[in-house]
Every structure is written in structure tokens, then in C-alpha cells.
Amino acid sequence: MPVPAEVQEKVDALRELLHHHAHRYYVLDEPEIPDAEYDKLFRELQELEELHPELLVPDSPTRRVGAKPLDGFAKVRHKVPMLSIRTETDIAASGARNFDARVRRELGLPESGPPIEYVAELKFDGLALNLRYENGVLVQAATRGDGEIGEEVTQNIRTIGQIPLRLPQDAPPVLEVRGEVYMRRDDFEKLNAQQREKIAQGARNEKTFVNPRNAAAGAVRQLDPGIARRRPLSFFAYGWGEVTPLEQGGPEFTTHFEALLTLRAWGFPVSARTQMAIGAEELVAFHQAVGRERDSLPFDIDGVVYKVNSFALQKQLGFVSREPRWAVAHKYPAQEQVTTVESIDVYVGRTGKLTPVARLAPVFVGGVTVTNATLHNEDEARRKDVRVGDTVIVRRAGDVIPEVVTVVPEKRMHEALLFTMPRQCPVCGSQAVREEGEADYRCTGGLFCGAQRKQAILHFAQRRAMDIEGLGEKLVDQMVEGNVIKTLPDLYRLGLAALCSLDRMAEKSAQNVLAALAGSKQTTLPRFLFGLGIRHVGEATAKDLSRHFGKLDAIMEAGVERLLEVPDVGPVVAQSIHTFFQQAHNREVVEQLRACGVCWEEGEPAARVPKPLAGRTVVLTGTLPTLSRDEAKDLLETAGAKVTGSVSKKTDYVVAGAEAGSKLDKAKELGVTVLDENGLKELLHGRA
């Protein structure tokens, strides 16, 4: 049974959102939503993928453990992935009991049985780090990155006095120690005082830092180790990665706590607040005690961590997706303060989403001076009834981004007006629409809107769209921020001089970009349609539209009822396409692209004939002798098949080539029919 279109759309939207927020948090250190909101979105995606395993793809956020490394540092592949741990969303004492109950259930232990031994630790608010020692010498330090590949920051880390450069003789030949780089609160205040003094003296390119975590992360990621040396950084160890096995001279550990004590003996700082906890009630006591001490700690934390102490039990519990079953992070209630709303502005995101933002009288919440708080969407703003001039309670939810918790009604001014979301984009003036079942308004001027300009260009240039090689994020950033290009047609009006004027753009590189742009002018209608970035129109829908209508003008002029005749196009998608082409700005961009020479072959609408593989689900794996993965996918989709990235009981065929991996094994396990390239061709010709 095919997955409902609305489920696929929801999954795609969640993945896009989670990738965006993970990038903001881990790579840019500029988060936009609280941890709790990210966790909620993550769990929602997990649940949908569990209900519909055929939707699983290798690049789903649930198959990843973090974010991409920054450019400018050598990349390091972690020998043992730096996995994240689950966040317990119940911030009350019952959250600790929930974890204990899950562990006992997974181990098959009765409620009346002996208590489990845990280690309780602080959850430091810093930057995760992997330290690699070979023969007792620090040879490499790397950030977590995406959990698989991080950034090498060895020279910067050598400046932190707490990190040993050499270990005792009894240390194993290979040892990877994992921990957190952070900045103490008193050191942070001193650093900001120095920064304010520099600014007062007229120093340029200096700034104060938002919080200790950002200051620490920024220092570690400096290409100049001299800057890191001037920042007062600290370190706590809490785990390990690769370690020489016992039979080759490695350590003999049976528990997590024993290993931490050994790390401390080898010279690594381990928090004195780390302790053993027997059973759920001691976890509860630890969570409550640390909560009372939180504000008086010399450094920031955003919760505590519980881990099963026994390595044997950890192995028995294993992992689920990207997370160990034997560990959990347990957070605290967010901190709150009272302030006033000075205005409500509307922010337009890179994908066109309109978000109301309350501009606040500055207030210090959770270690940060807060001046803005998200109101999420019109419904949320109406539900909380936030108005300009209101006195509000602000919470720094998840210790990441502030939000308005509630209004203090007795302090409201009588003339305060109810907030209404504008029906035009505040950036470009295009129509703002709210699709059925959606909470958010979105700008419909995707090809014209300045707020969406970078996103529109990057999407247009990607391999599966116009395939403009060399037009990457850094180059697009420069061209947009320098007003070199304002809309998509400007790409095809670029000259050599304009490109060569950009940073790090040599004449040869500029010529290559211009050649790629020239080559992209001859394209196909599906690629062009997909490249326009119409909401809900992916590659498959673009192909269906092209086959059904044959010509772009026919698609642009089609009403909702005509669009609904296209296979797999439902009311939401049809309305989105119709609304997009009703915007004069978007139609003008399309015409200008044509005028610049962008063209494709067009024909008559495809005859409505039965598709031989309609309703069938196919998975491709390995390398085929003569067909590329894209060619095989195109052939299958043209025949009506749905091509997915993972094998499940609902898969009809797996097409396997050379070096096929786990997908082939899964197919054999489930009894799914496996075909080679010849079998695929016979299937396409109806002979299988």
C-alpha cells in the first residue's frame, strides 16, 4: 500500500527543518529553536519513519548524529562515531524513573528485582571534543562535527592547560578521550569586560560574546591558535572512543565509573560532581540536588546525564537508531523573566516561512540578555494573545532561544491591538498564503523575494535541477550579499569581470562557472520545473507534470482542477503550483530565464496508457554495469514505479549491482525479489 502523499510531505518537511536547525546549532552556533522543540520534531520524524519504514533514506536526520564540519579545517573521520544520547522530555523527577523503567524493561528485569547501578553526570554546555593519544602523546584533537567526521583543532586544543599533552606509561598505546570544552562563568565575564574595554577604545572587529558556550566554541574553531590561547578555556572528560583492546595491552575496565576514575588518574579533569547512583530514586535525588545548585555552579549546564554503569549491561542494551539505550540526558525547567513587548515584527526565513517575532525590552534570562522572542506563527500569537506594549513572561526554553510563555493581563494597556499576520510578504510584497493543515504563512514570491534569494539560487543550481557546477554556497553568499545577482536570470547575465571581483575567484575558476552556466541553458522541462523551487514539487512531481502537460505554458495556465488530473498531485500540491504561477513576479522570472536562452524540448501531452510498474516499489543498490543510478531511477519512475531508499516488507523488487551492501542482505532476509540489470530491463519490458 503506497504511503499517503500527506505523510511523505510531512516527512520531507520535517527532514528539511531538522537539517536546517542542526546546521544552525552545530555548525553556525546560531540556534533558532529550543532543544526541546528540536527533540519534539526529531521524535515526530522517528515515529513516522517507524510507521512507514519504506520512507527511510540514508541522509535522514534520524540516521545522523549531528552536523557538518566547518570549512577551513582538516576533516577527521572518527574511528568510533561520536553518538548523541536521547533527551528525556519529562523534566520532572518522573523523567529519571521513566529512564530506569525503560532500562529494566529492555533487560527483562522485574520491578521488584535489585536496583540497577548508574553513573550520574552533569551535562555541560560546551563543545564536544575527541582527543586522540598514540603511545601516550596527544596527536590529534577533533570536534564532533556530524558524529562521523569532525574538524581537526589540535593546535587550538594544545593551548588548554587542563588537557594533558602526554600520558603516564601505563596508558594504552591508543586512547581516544571524549569530553567537553567550556568556559567558566567568571572567565566569561572577564573576557567580555576586556572586549567592552577594547570596543570603548575604538577597536574595530571586536565584539562581546552572547554566552560562554559560543565564546568557547568560537575559540576552538579559530584558524589562528593565538586567539584560542587568549581565551580562558577549560575541559572535562566524560568518555572515550577508540581504545587499544585488552589482548593488545589495553585497559581492563568493567564499568563506566571505573574508567572515569582511571582517566582522572591519567591526568584528565573529571567533574567532582560525577557520582554513582543506585536505582531510580538516587537518580531523582541527583537531578533535584544539581537543580538546586545549578545557578551557583562555576559553569553552565543544561541538564544531567544518566548512564548504566556496567559495560556488560551496556552491551546487552545496545543502541536504537543513533542513540544508546543505556544513557539519557535529563534537562531542567527553563528559566523565566518578566519584560515588555516593544513591537512585533515579521521575519521571513530562507524558505519563505513568515515568523512573528516579539521585540522585547532587554532582559537577562538564563545567562543571556534577551531582546527578541519568537511567537512561532499567527495561531500561537493569537493563542497567547501577545500584543505590543504587553508585559510578558519570557522563557529561554531549552537554554537556547527565548519564547513568550504568557502575558500578564492585568498590566495590559487598553488600546493594545491584536496581532494579525500580514497577507503580503514584508520583504518583497508577494502574496503570503497559509496552506490547508499548515500553521505557517509563506511568501509565494520564491523566485523574487530577497529573503529567499540564496535558497532559490542554490536549489536552482543543484545537480538534480539545472546542474550548475561550481555554484556553491560560499560563492552564492558573496554574489547575493554583494548585489551581484538579485534574481535567477542575473546568473545568466554574469560577466567575467564581475565574477573575478569576488574573493578567492581566480580567472580560471570564473571561466569554469560561466561555462557551467552556459551549459545549463540546455536542460529538460522536469529539471527546470524542479529548479523553480515550487513548494511540494519534487523531482517525481516535476516529471509527472511534464509528462501530463508536455509544455511549460500549459502548466503555468492550468487551474487547480486541471492540475488535479496529474497522477499523485493532490489538492495541496495543486494549489501550491497554481498559486506560484499566479504571482506576477514568478512568471516574470520564468520569462526572463527563457529570454536568457534557457530552453528545453517540449511535446504533446503524454497519452494516458497504463504504466507497467504502477503501484510497485523498487530499491536500487550497488553499481549497475551500464546504467547509472539516476538513469535506472528515471526508467523505473517513467514506468510508474516508486523508487525508495530502504528495503521493507512493502518493497516489491531490489535491483542490485556490484558492491551491493546491507540493502541486498535485507532483501534476502525479507524474501524480496532481487534483480540484476538484465532483470531490470526485462521488468521494464514486461517480461519479468
The Cα 273–Cα 57 span in angstroms is 40
The Cα 449–Cα 429 span in angstroms is 8
* β-strand partners of 182: 234
3-state secondary structure of 294: helix
User: Which residue type, as a one-letter code, is found at position 63?
Assistant: R
Q: How far apart are the first and last CA of the chain?
A: 21
Catalytic residue of the set 68, 75, 123, 331: 123
* β-strand partners of 675: 655
Which DSSP state fits 25?
A: I
What cell was used for 255?
Answer: 564499568
The Cα 207–Cα 199 span in angstroms is 7
Angle of helix 453-461 relative to helix 473-481, nearest 10 degrees?
140
Q: Which helix (H) or strand (E) holds 196?
A: helix 185-200
The Cα 449–Cα 425 span in angstroms is 8
Q: Phi, psi at residue 641, to the nearest 5°?
A: -80, 155
Q: Phi, psi at residue 71, to the nearest 5°?
A: -75, 155
Buried b / exposed e across 518-543, counting CB within 10 Å, b at 16+? eebeebebbbbbbbbbbbbbebbbbb
Dihedral angle computed from the Cα positions of residues 207, 209, 215 and 218, in that order, rounded to the nearest 10 degrees? -40
User: Is 123 labeled as catalytic in the residue annotation?
Assistant: yes
* β-strand partners of 449: none
Q: What sign for the dihedral angle of Cα 14, 19, 24, 26?
A: positive
The Cα 240–Cα 82 span in angstroms is 9
The Cα 324–Cα 341 span in angstroms is 43
8 Å CB contact between 348 and 444: no
The Cα 642–Cα 163 span in angstroms is 53
| CA 270 to each of CA 236, 288, 321, 463: distance values in angstroms, whole numbers, following the listed order | 5, 21, 29, 47
Task: Estimate to the nearest angstrom the gap between the alpha carbon of 115 and the chain centroid.
Answer: 38
CB atoms within 10 A of CB 107: 15
The Cα 131–Cα 157 span in angstroms is 9
Which DSSP state fits 450?
A: G
Q: Residue length, the chain?
A: 688
Following DSSP, what letter does each residue of 49-117 receive, concatenated? HHH-GGG--TTSGGG--S-PPPTTS-EEE-SS-----EEES--STHHHHHHHHHHHHHHT--TTSPPPE
The Cα 353–Cα 21 span in angstroms is 14
Dihedral angle computed from the Cα positions of residues 23, 27, 33 and 37, in that order, rounded to the nearest 10 degrees? 70
The Cα 117–Cα 130 span in angstroms is 27
| CA 329 to each of CA 287, 303, 306, 652: distance values in angstroms, whole numbers, following the listed order | 11, 7, 7, 40
Which DSSP state fits 611?
A: -
Q: Which amino acids are annotated catalytic?
A: 123
